[in-house]
Amino acid sequence: MKPLEKIRVLDITYYLPGPFSTMRLAEMGAEVVKIEPPGGDPAFSMSGGAVHRANNRGKDILKLDLKTEHGKAELVQHIKHADVLLESFRPGVMDRLGLGYKKVKEINPSIVYCSMTGYGVDGPLANFGSHDLNYLALSGVLSQIADSKGKPIIPKNTLADYAGGFAGSESILAALVQRFRTGEGSQIQVSITDAMATFQGTNLEYLISGISGDGIPEIDGSYVSYNIYETKDGRYVALAALEPKFWTNFGLFAKRPDWISYQFERTESKEHQKITELFTSRTWEEWYQISLETDFCLTPVLRPAEISQHPHFANRGNLVSLK
Protein backbone atom coordinates (compact mmCIF):
# COMPACT_ATOMS: atom_id res chain seq x y z
CA MET A 1 0.00 0.00 0.00
CA LYS A 2 1.33 3.41 -0.96
CA PRO A 3 1.35 6.07 1.78
CA LEU A 4 -1.21 8.41 0.17
CA GLU A 5 -3.78 5.85 -0.97
CA LYS A 6 -7.36 7.06 -0.37
CA ILE A 7 -6.17 10.70 -0.31
CA ARG A 8 -8.11 12.73 -2.89
CA VAL A 9 -6.41 15.72 -4.50
CA LEU A 10 -7.92 18.38 -6.75
CA ASP A 11 -5.32 19.94 -9.03
CA ILE A 12 -6.37 23.30 -10.49
CA THR A 13 -2.97 24.29 -11.88
CA TYR A 14 -1.35 24.75 -15.28
CA TYR A 15 2.06 24.40 -16.94
CA LEU A 16 4.73 22.82 -14.70
CA PRO A 17 5.11 23.67 -10.97
CA GLY A 18 1.62 22.74 -9.78
CA PRO A 19 1.18 19.70 -12.03
CA PHE A 20 4.64 18.39 -11.01
CA SER A 21 3.71 18.86 -7.35
CA THR A 22 0.48 16.85 -7.61
CA MET A 23 2.12 14.23 -9.84
CA ARG A 24 4.49 13.55 -6.93
CA LEU A 25 1.44 13.03 -4.72
CA ALA A 26 -0.05 10.70 -7.32
CA GLU A 27 3.18 8.70 -7.35
CA MET A 28 2.75 8.28 -3.58
CA GLY A 29 -0.69 6.82 -4.14
CA ALA A 30 -3.02 9.83 -4.06
CA GLU A 31 -6.05 9.97 -6.32
CA VAL A 32 -5.50 13.18 -8.29
CA VAL A 33 -8.19 14.83 -10.40
CA LYS A 34 -6.83 17.63 -12.56
CA ILE A 35 -9.34 20.31 -13.42
CA GLU A 36 -8.72 21.91 -16.82
CA PRO A 37 -10.65 24.46 -18.89
CA PRO A 38 -12.60 23.21 -21.93
CA GLY A 39 -9.63 23.99 -24.18
CA GLY A 40 -7.22 22.08 -21.93
CA ASP A 41 -4.18 23.12 -19.92
CA PRO A 42 -2.28 25.93 -21.70
CA ALA A 43 0.79 23.69 -21.44
CA PHE A 44 -0.59 21.87 -24.49
CA SER A 45 0.58 24.86 -26.54
CA MET A 46 4.22 24.06 -25.77
CA SER A 47 5.93 21.59 -28.10
CA GLY A 48 2.83 19.59 -28.86
CA GLY A 49 1.93 19.00 -25.22
CA ALA A 50 5.28 17.63 -24.01
CA VAL A 51 5.17 19.67 -20.79
CA HIS A 52 1.67 18.39 -20.05
CA ARG A 53 2.55 14.75 -20.70
CA ALA A 54 5.65 14.94 -18.51
CA ASN A 55 3.89 16.33 -15.45
CA ASN A 56 0.44 14.75 -15.37
CA ARG A 57 1.02 11.03 -15.23
CA GLY A 58 -1.32 9.09 -12.98
CA LYS A 59 -4.09 11.71 -12.92
CA ASP A 60 -7.68 11.85 -14.06
CA ILE A 61 -8.36 14.88 -16.27
CA LEU A 62 -11.70 16.62 -15.86
CA LYS A 63 -12.56 19.57 -18.10
CA LEU A 64 -14.77 22.18 -16.48
CA ASP A 65 -15.59 25.77 -17.35
CA LEU A 66 -15.24 27.46 -13.98
CA LYS A 67 -16.66 30.67 -15.42
CA THR A 68 -20.06 28.98 -15.62
CA GLU A 69 -22.39 28.05 -12.77
CA HIS A 70 -22.57 24.48 -14.04
CA GLY A 71 -18.77 24.12 -14.02
CA LYS A 72 -18.46 25.58 -10.52
CA ALA A 73 -21.28 23.42 -9.22
CA GLU A 74 -19.59 20.26 -10.49
CA LEU A 75 -16.30 21.29 -8.90
CA VAL A 76 -18.09 21.89 -5.59
CA GLN A 77 -19.22 18.26 -5.61
CA HIS A 78 -15.57 17.18 -5.94
CA ILE A 79 -14.53 19.60 -3.19
CA LYS A 80 -16.94 17.93 -0.77
CA HIS A 81 -14.97 14.69 -0.98
CA ALA A 82 -11.45 16.07 -1.44
CA ASP A 83 -8.60 16.07 1.05
CA VAL A 84 -6.43 18.57 -0.83
CA LEU A 85 -6.99 21.40 -3.31
CA LEU A 86 -4.00 22.97 -5.08
CA GLU A 87 -4.51 26.05 -7.25
CA SER A 88 -2.05 28.30 -9.06
CA PHE A 89 -4.08 31.25 -10.32
CA ARG A 90 -2.98 34.79 -9.64
CA PRO A 91 -4.08 36.06 -6.22
CA GLY A 92 -7.78 36.90 -6.09
CA VAL A 93 -8.89 34.78 -9.05
CA MET A 94 -10.28 31.91 -6.95
CA ASP A 95 -12.12 34.39 -4.72
CA ARG A 96 -13.72 36.01 -7.77
CA LEU A 97 -14.82 32.56 -8.92
CA GLY A 98 -16.41 32.00 -5.53
CA LEU A 99 -13.88 29.26 -4.77
CA GLY A 100 -11.49 31.01 -2.38
CA TYR A 101 -10.39 29.36 0.85
CA LYS A 102 -13.17 30.77 3.04
CA LYS A 103 -15.86 29.50 0.68
CA VAL A 104 -14.20 26.12 0.17
CA LYS A 105 -13.72 25.72 3.94
CA GLU A 106 -17.47 26.16 4.39
CA ILE A 107 -18.01 23.29 1.96
CA ASN A 108 -15.27 21.06 3.39
CA PRO A 109 -13.81 22.21 6.75
CA SER A 110 -11.06 19.56 6.77
CA ILE A 111 -9.62 20.37 3.34
CA VAL A 112 -5.97 21.33 2.85
CA TYR A 113 -6.11 24.33 0.52
CA CYS A 114 -2.80 25.27 -1.12
CA SER A 115 -2.21 28.32 -3.31
CA MET A 116 0.97 28.23 -5.39
CA THR A 117 2.11 31.59 -6.79
CA GLY A 118 5.26 33.18 -8.11
CA TYR A 119 5.64 35.75 -5.34
CA GLY A 120 3.02 35.07 -2.67
CA VAL A 121 -0.56 36.28 -2.35
CA ASP A 122 0.30 39.81 -1.25
CA GLY A 123 3.19 42.21 -1.61
CA PRO A 124 4.44 44.39 -4.48
CA LEU A 125 4.83 41.54 -6.98
CA ALA A 126 1.78 39.47 -6.04
CA ASN A 127 0.11 39.98 -9.42
CA PHE A 128 3.30 40.23 -11.46
CA GLY A 129 3.39 37.79 -14.40
CA SER A 130 6.55 35.68 -14.43
CA HIS A 131 8.11 32.35 -15.35
CA ASP A 132 11.01 30.15 -14.23
CA LEU A 133 13.75 32.50 -15.47
CA ASN A 134 12.26 35.40 -13.50
CA TYR A 135 12.13 33.39 -10.27
CA LEU A 136 15.74 32.31 -10.73
CA ALA A 137 16.80 35.89 -11.38
CA LEU A 138 15.01 37.48 -8.43
CA SER A 139 16.08 34.76 -5.97
CA GLY A 140 19.75 35.43 -6.73
CA VAL A 141 20.29 31.92 -8.04
CA LEU A 142 20.69 32.95 -11.68
CA SER A 143 23.64 35.18 -10.83
CA GLN A 144 25.44 32.04 -9.68
CA ILE A 145 24.76 30.11 -12.88
CA ALA A 146 27.24 32.05 -14.98
CA ASP A 147 30.02 31.70 -17.53
CA SER A 148 33.68 32.48 -16.86
CA LYS A 149 32.98 36.18 -17.45
CA GLY A 150 30.19 36.26 -14.90
CA LYS A 151 27.35 36.49 -17.42
CA PRO A 152 24.28 34.55 -16.25
CA ILE A 153 23.41 31.53 -18.39
CA ILE A 154 19.86 30.44 -19.16
CA PRO A 155 19.51 26.93 -17.69
CA LYS A 156 18.03 24.28 -19.97
CA ASN A 157 15.98 22.96 -17.06
CA THR A 158 13.25 24.79 -15.16
CA LEU A 159 14.96 24.69 -11.78
CA ALA A 160 12.68 27.14 -9.98
CA ASP A 161 9.51 25.48 -11.26
CA TYR A 162 10.68 22.14 -9.90
CA ALA A 163 11.76 23.73 -6.60
CA GLY A 164 8.28 25.25 -6.31
CA GLY A 165 6.73 21.87 -7.08
CA PHE A 166 8.76 20.18 -4.36
CA ALA A 167 7.88 22.94 -1.90
CA GLY A 168 4.20 22.53 -2.74
CA SER A 169 4.09 18.77 -2.22
CA GLU A 170 6.19 19.06 0.95
CA SER A 171 3.85 21.70 2.42
CA ILE A 172 0.78 19.65 1.52
CA LEU A 173 2.21 16.55 3.17
CA ALA A 174 3.01 18.52 6.34
CA ALA A 175 -0.54 19.92 6.38
CA LEU A 176 -1.99 16.43 5.99
CA VAL A 177 0.03 15.25 8.99
CA GLN A 178 -1.37 18.18 10.99
CA ARG A 179 -4.89 17.29 9.87
CA PHE A 180 -4.47 13.68 10.96
CA ARG A 181 -3.39 14.94 14.39
CA THR A 182 -6.02 17.64 14.86
CA GLY A 183 -8.78 16.86 12.38
CA GLU A 184 -8.56 20.41 11.05
CA GLY A 185 -7.88 21.58 7.54
CA SER A 186 -5.59 24.49 6.71
CA GLN A 187 -4.63 27.10 4.15
CA ILE A 188 -1.12 27.02 2.66
CA GLN A 189 0.61 29.62 0.52
CA VAL A 190 3.65 28.58 -1.52
CA SER A 191 5.82 31.14 -3.33
CA ILE A 192 8.06 29.69 -6.05
CA THR A 193 10.54 32.55 -5.69
CA ASP A 194 10.69 32.07 -1.92
CA ALA A 195 11.28 28.34 -2.39
CA MET A 196 14.16 29.08 -4.76
CA ALA A 197 15.60 31.68 -2.38
CA THR A 198 15.89 29.06 0.36
CA PHE A 199 18.59 27.44 -1.79
CA GLN A 200 20.73 30.46 -0.89
CA GLY A 201 21.02 29.56 2.79
CA THR A 202 24.63 28.39 2.72
CA ASN A 203 25.71 31.17 0.39
CA LEU A 204 24.15 33.78 2.66
CA GLU A 205 26.01 32.32 5.63
CA TYR A 206 29.26 32.73 3.70
CA LEU A 207 28.28 36.33 2.99
CA ILE A 208 27.36 37.11 6.59
CA SER A 209 30.59 35.51 7.80
CA GLY A 210 32.62 37.71 5.45
CA ILE A 211 34.11 34.69 3.67
CA SER A 212 32.61 35.11 0.21
CA GLY A 213 29.88 37.03 -1.57
CA ASP A 214 29.56 34.33 -4.22
CA GLY A 215 28.96 31.19 -2.21
CA ILE A 216 31.35 28.37 -1.41
CA PRO A 217 34.77 29.19 -2.93
CA GLU A 218 35.88 25.54 -3.06
CA ILE A 219 33.07 24.61 -5.45
CA ASP A 220 32.79 27.70 -7.65
CA GLY A 221 34.89 26.30 -10.50
CA SER A 222 38.06 28.15 -9.51
CA TYR A 223 40.00 25.06 -8.48
CA VAL A 224 41.36 22.13 -10.44
CA SER A 225 39.91 19.51 -8.09
CA TYR A 226 36.30 20.60 -8.53
CA ASN A 227 35.70 21.29 -12.17
CA ILE A 228 34.35 20.22 -15.54
CA TYR A 229 36.79 18.89 -18.10
CA GLU A 230 36.49 18.33 -21.83
CA THR A 231 37.35 14.91 -23.23
CA LYS A 232 39.12 13.89 -26.42
CA ASP A 233 35.87 13.65 -28.36
CA GLY A 234 34.39 16.96 -27.25
CA ARG A 235 32.26 15.59 -24.41
CA TYR A 236 32.62 16.47 -20.72
CA VAL A 237 33.17 14.87 -17.33
CA ALA A 238 32.69 16.32 -13.85
CA LEU A 239 35.48 15.97 -11.29
CA ALA A 240 34.51 16.72 -7.68
CA ALA A 241 37.50 15.49 -5.67
CA LEU A 242 36.83 17.89 -2.83
CA GLU A 243 38.26 15.80 0.01
CA PRO A 244 42.00 15.05 0.12
CA LYS A 245 41.44 11.28 -0.08
CA PHE A 246 39.61 11.58 -3.39
CA TRP A 247 42.20 13.96 -4.84
CA THR A 248 44.95 11.60 -3.73
CA ASN A 249 43.18 8.75 -5.51
CA PHE A 250 43.03 10.88 -8.65
CA GLY A 251 46.73 11.66 -8.52
CA LEU A 252 47.60 7.99 -8.04
CA PHE A 253 45.29 6.99 -10.91
CA ALA A 254 47.02 9.51 -13.16
CA LYS A 255 50.39 8.13 -12.01
CA ARG A 256 51.28 11.64 -10.97
CA PRO A 257 51.79 11.61 -7.19
CA ASP A 258 53.25 15.09 -7.55
CA TRP A 259 49.74 16.30 -8.42
CA ILE A 260 48.52 15.48 -4.92
CA SER A 261 49.73 18.90 -3.80
CA TYR A 262 47.77 20.57 -6.64
CA GLN A 263 44.31 20.14 -5.12
CA PHE A 264 43.56 23.82 -4.68
CA GLU A 265 45.54 25.22 -7.57
CA ARG A 266 43.60 27.77 -9.59
CA THR A 267 42.19 26.99 -13.01
CA GLU A 268 44.42 29.60 -14.66
CA SER A 269 47.54 27.82 -13.42
CA LYS A 270 49.97 25.67 -15.38
CA GLU A 271 48.90 22.72 -13.23
CA HIS A 272 45.38 23.11 -14.51
CA GLN A 273 46.65 22.92 -18.05
CA LYS A 274 48.38 19.62 -17.31
CA ILE A 275 45.21 18.13 -15.86
CA THR A 276 43.20 19.42 -18.80
CA GLU A 277 45.59 17.64 -21.15
CA LEU A 278 45.08 14.39 -19.26
CA PHE A 279 41.33 14.55 -19.74
CA THR A 280 41.64 15.37 -23.44
CA SER A 281 43.85 12.30 -23.89
CA ARG A 282 40.86 9.95 -23.51
CA THR A 283 37.40 9.81 -25.04
CA TRP A 284 34.19 10.31 -23.13
CA GLU A 285 33.46 6.57 -23.30
CA GLU A 286 36.85 5.79 -21.75
CA TRP A 287 36.30 8.26 -18.91
CA TYR A 288 32.79 6.88 -18.48
CA GLN A 289 34.22 3.44 -17.78
CA ILE A 290 36.87 4.89 -15.48
CA SER A 291 34.14 6.67 -13.52
CA LEU A 292 32.54 3.29 -12.76
CA GLU A 293 35.78 1.69 -11.62
CA THR A 294 37.55 4.37 -9.58
CA ASP A 295 36.92 6.37 -6.44
CA PHE A 296 37.74 10.01 -6.99
CA CYS A 297 34.30 11.54 -7.59
CA LEU A 298 34.27 11.43 -11.39
CA THR A 299 31.02 11.29 -13.33
CA PRO A 300 30.19 11.73 -17.01
CA VAL A 301 28.07 14.71 -18.07
CA LEU A 302 25.16 12.69 -19.40
CA ARG A 303 22.70 13.80 -22.03
CA PRO A 304 18.98 13.21 -21.37
CA ALA A 305 18.82 10.26 -23.79
CA GLU A 306 21.68 8.55 -21.95
CA ILE A 307 20.37 8.73 -18.40
CA SER A 308 18.30 5.55 -18.44
CA GLN A 309 21.31 3.60 -19.76
CA HIS A 310 23.49 4.38 -16.76
CA PRO A 311 23.81 1.54 -14.21
CA HIS A 312 22.64 3.81 -11.39
CA PHE A 313 19.25 4.51 -12.96
CA ALA A 314 18.85 0.97 -14.27
CA ASN A 315 19.28 -0.22 -10.69
CA ARG A 316 16.80 2.36 -9.38
CA GLY A 317 13.95 0.97 -11.43
CA ASN A 318 14.48 3.22 -14.46
CA LEU A 319 13.00 6.31 -12.83
CA VAL A 320 13.77 8.35 -15.94
CA SER A 321 12.60 5.90 -18.58
CA LEU A 322 12.04 7.32 -22.05
CA LYS A 323 8.98 5.10 -22.45
What SS3 state is found at 123? Answer: coil
Listing DSSP states for 38-85 in one string gives TT--GGGGSGGGHHHHHH-TTEEEEE--TTSHHHHHHHHHHHHT-SEE
Question: Is 65 an active-site residue?
Answer: no
Question: Is 131 an active-site residue?
Answer: yes
Total residue count of the chain as it appears in this document: 323
Average pLDDT over residues 80-88: 98
pLDDT digits (tens, 9 = 90+) for 182-232: 999 999 999 999 999 999 999 899 999 999 888 888 888 899 999 999 999
Amino acid 322: pLDDT: 46
Catalytic residue selected from 11, 41, 83, 161: 161
Residue 321 pLDDT class (50, 70, 90 cuts): low
Catalytic residue selected from 131, 214, 220, 310: 131
pLDDT digits (tens, 9 = 90+) for 92-126: 999 999 999 999 999 999 999 999 999 999 989 98
What structural domains and CATH numbers belong to the chain?
8-198 (3.40.50.10540), 219-315 (3.30.1540.10)
